[in-house]
Chain A
Amino acid sequence: MEQKILKKDEIEKLYNELASEYNVYAPVKKKGNISFEKIEKSEDIVLDYLNSKIPPKSVLFPQMEVLFEYTLDEKDVEITDRQDLDQKILILGIRPCDAYSFELFANFFSSHGNWKDEIYLKKKENTTLIGMGCNTPRTTCFCTSVGGNPFNKENMDVFLTDLGDKYLVEGISDKGKEMVKNLSWLSDATDADVKKSSELAKQAEESITATIDSETIVKNLETNFEHPVWREISESCIGCGSCSYLCPTCTCFDVIDETDKYNNRGRRIRIWDTCQSCLYSLETSGHNPRDTKIQRCRNRIMHKFSYYPENYELLGCVGCGRCIAVCPANNDILTILHKVEKIEEKGG
């Protein structure tokens, strides 16, 4: 049988084998928060989790990333490119929504203009995903409304289903199938195992309660740029940007040069940035195209549900619900989207 079984006490064995070839990233619990970190010992791996606080985008698109390094010397400058992009990365335990977000990221970073973001794309090429289905989606999950599913295996290389005391292991992509074959010590799955995983998948999909009508939303957003709803939904926003920092599909970044004057060297880095910051679009002349909170709140929603679909015919949101959980002012995106759904066609 193609499907295999990984017993929960075999995680250490799996890790040891993978770690010899890959830099393994998996969820760990640090100070109460789940985040995807590089694993040094298998005991740190937490696979019994709902979803991570910080999305796994931080593995391929870290909060701070070096673009290149340089040395300055009198009248000359020498630039050193990134040398570490060939490392093989494996992300274990990633959820379907986050795996899909990697595709959206890659899509964006390879379009627009003549240059692709080779740094991200090279890393993605060298990344293998061993994902896991969500047996218990949260009340804030709405992946099924944005083209996803708690058991979507499409964007994974290998897919795990938590059957209680063991995982069902399925190779999805060619790379994944090869990997499963090479883990020859995995036991075979039984028909009962496969049946149970289908049941869990069905249950998970049915348990999702949060839904949005994305078709209506995209349609309404085509024409309601100046609608009073934007004033309403930006009322409680404090402009902190947590929603974008923790969003798996938010890609915006800032670029800064950091120089160590005393050693004549430095690096140009990129760091996460957010369109919710009031300085995001501030021009040197002092003019700021988005200097009100209303415009900035609107831009985030429009970007995910109007501009992204306009450019790629794909929604720019994966329905993970992190923004809902983290917003300090409880400015719930589902509430916002339901308001947008209700905008009537004529004026409204």
Chain B
Amino acid sequence: MSNPYIPYLTRVKSVVAENKVNDIKTIELEFKNEEDYKKFDYIPGQFAEISLIGKGECPIGIASSPTEEGTIKFTIKKMGTVTSGFHSSEIGDIIGVRGPCGNGWPMEDMKGKNIIVIGGGFAYSTLRSLIIYLLDDRYRKDYGDITTIYGNRESGEVLYRDLLEEWEKRDDIKVVLTIDREEEGWTREVGFVAAIVKKVAPSPENAVAIICGPPIMIRTAVAELVELGWKDEQILNSLEMRMKCGIGKCGRCNIGNKFVCTDGPVFSLAELKKMPNEY
């Protein structure tokens, strides 16, 4: 029998600041045991319960793609005791990881389709995982056109700047970055994500839209998509809830009869509409 509450032990390999105000960092973790890394078989969109043993645990979306072998990455915003602890961790520190948890993005179902990835602010972390996977040489041909729209309040908030600039140069993905207001030196789009969605006007034909971000961004972006003819089954969302165990046992992340940590966190808009409005 294996105690599902015992984490794998990993060591911090690097800590990288992602935004100007330094409250979002990406930590890279190396499993202490090679065996454990093999067991940690994940797909984009899943999350893990990571802990500072002695401080606490929190559910964080996995920012690395399974195609980036050797280590796993998490992008963490400094909000409370445990996340502050992650931010001040040093190379070599031990961090516990339990998972992978959740259902992840439906990589199989999305094959052959065009994919629109819409993100806002800090929520882009699991979308990073998704896009790196999609762009991987082994898998790119399985999917149609890929477009990503990523909005932030200001340019200093844009995560994974270097990575995005690399993607902009590629011809197998269309990258549209936007910030809310004009800024000196910013030559790309300006405007809220919903407005950019309207401008880009992705076609719902054989396509899937993935949206992650603050509730208001999701609401307005979804409204634009619906206007363009997108159906509820084609729009996917990744929900956040307060979680403790991450494995469907402690009970607190329920929405109706579903648990966000196991039946989700990815739900289609069609599924969400059938669930009670308590999230």
Chain A interface (Cβ within 8 Å of chain B)?
67-68, 70, 72, 75-77, 79, 81-82, 85, 108-109, 111-119, 121-122, 225, 251-257, 259, 266, 268, 270, 273, 275, 280-285, 289-290, 295, 299, 302-303, 306-308, 310-311
Q: Of B57, B96, B101, which contacts A77 at CB under 8 A?
A: B96
Instruction: Give the bracket for the number of chain B residues in contact with chain A.
Output: 35 or more
A-B Cβ contacts below 8 A, count: 134
Chain A CB within 8 A of B201 CB? no
- Given A76-B94, A257-B56, A307-B257, the answer on whether A225 and B276 have CB atoms closer than 8 Å is yes
Chain A CB within 8 A of B21 CB? no
* Shortest distance between the CB of B83 and any CB in chain A (Å): 8
Q: Is the CB of A117 within 8 A of B4?
A: yes
- Given A77-B9, A118-B1, the answer on whether A290 and B278 have CB atoms closer than 8 Å is yes
- Residue numbers in A under 8 Å from B163 (CB-CB): none
- Residue numbers in B under 8 Å from A253 (CB-CB): 244-245, 249-251
* Shortest distance between the CB of B11 and any CB in chain A (Å): 8
Kindly identify, within residues 50 to 90 of chain B, every residue whose CB is under 8 Å from any CB belonging to chain A: 51, 53-58, 79-80, 83
Q: Is the CB of A284 within 8 A of B80?
A: yes
* Shortest distance between the CB of A307 and any CB in chain B (Å): 4
CA separation between A294 and B4, bound complex, in Å?
Answer: 34
Chain A CB within 8 A of B261 CB? yes
Q: Is the CB of A112 within 8 A of B256?
A: no
Q: Is the CB of A285 within 8 A of B79?
A: yes
Instruction: Kindly report which residue of chain A lies nearest to residue B261, judged by CB atoms.
Output: A113
Mind listing 20 A-B residue pairs with CB under 8 Å? A79-B7, A112-B248, A113-B247, A113-B259, A114-B262, A115-B4, A115-B248, A117-B4, A252-B251, A266-B53, A270-B5, A273-B251, A283-B241, A284-B79, A284-B242, A295-B278, A299-B254, A302-B276, A307-B256, A307-B257
- Given A79-B9, A253-B251, A254-B244, the answer on whether A266 and B3 have CB atoms closer than 8 Å is no
Q: Is the CB of A112 within 8 A of B9?
A: no
Q: Is the CB of B54 within 8 A of A259?
A: yes
Chain A CB within 8 A of B252 CB? yes
- Residue numbers in B under 8 Å from A251 (CB-CB): 249, 251
CA separation between A299 and B254, bound complex, in Å?
Answer: 9
Q: Of A117, A283, A302, which contacts B249 at CB under 8 A?
A: A117
Q: Is the CB of B242 within 8 A of A113?
A: no
Chain A CB within 8 A of B92 CB? yes
Q: Is the CB of A275 within 8 A of B251?
A: yes
Q: Is the CB of A310 within 8 A of B240?
A: no
Q: Is the CB of A255 within 8 A of B247?
A: no
Q: Of A109, A289, A308, which contacts B278 at CB under 8 A?
A: A289
Q: Is the CB of A116 within 8 A of B4?
A: yes
- Residue numbers in A under 8 Å from B182 (CB-CB): none
**Chain A binding surface, main DSSP class:** mixed
CA separation between A28 and B83, bound complex, in Å?
Answer: 45
- Residue numbers in A under 8 Å from B83 (CB-CB): 284
Query: CB-defined interface of B1-32 with A at 8 Å, one 1/0 digit per residue?
Result: 11111110100000000000000000000000
Q: Is the CB of A256 within 8 A of B53?
A: no
Q: Is the CB of B242 within 8 A of A81?
A: no
Q: Is the CB of B250 within 8 A of A256?
A: no
Chain A CB within 8 A of B279 CB? yes
- Residue numbers in A under 8 Å from B3 (CB-CB): 67-68, 81-82, 118-119
- Residue numbers in B under 8 Å from A81 (CB-CB): 3, 6
Instruction: Kindly report which residue of chain A lies nearest to residue B263, judged by CB atoms.
Output: A112
- Residue numbers in A under 8 Å from B145 (CB-CB): none
CA separation between A282 and B252, bound complex, in Å?
Answer: 10
Q: Is the CB of B54 within 8 A of A122?
A: no
Chain A CB within 8 A of B233 CB? no
Chain A CB within 8 A of B227 CB? no
- Residue numbers in A under 8 Å from B259 (CB-CB): 112-113
Q: Of A257, A266, A280, A306, which contacts B252 at CB under 8 A?
A: A280
Q: Of B9, B56, B57, B249, which contacts A109 at CB under 8 A?
A: B249
- Residue numbers in B under 8 Å from A77 (CB-CB): 9, 53, 94, 96
CA separation between A326 and B249, bound complex, in Å?
Answer: 26
Q: Is the CB of A303 within 8 A of B254?
A: yes
Q: Is the CB of A67 within 8 A of B257?
A: no
- Given A77-B96, A311-B257, the answer on whether A112 and B249 have CB atoms closer than 8 Å is yes
* Shortest distance between the CB of A74 and any CB in chain B (Å): 10
Chain A CB within 8 A of B172 CB? no
Q: Of A79, A252, A299, A310, which contacts B6 at CB under 8 A?
A: A79
Closest 6 CB pairs of A and B: A112-B248, A113-B262, A307-B257, A252-B251, A115-B4, A259-B54
- Residue numbers in A under 8 Å from B240 (CB-CB): 283, 285
Taking A113-B262, A275-B252 as known contacts, 7 extra A-B pairs with beta carbons closer than 8 A to each other, sorted by chain A number, are A68-B5, A79-B6, A85-B1, A253-B249, A255-B5, A257-B53, A275-B251
- Residue numbers in A under 8 Å from B5 (CB-CB): 67-68, 119, 255, 268, 270
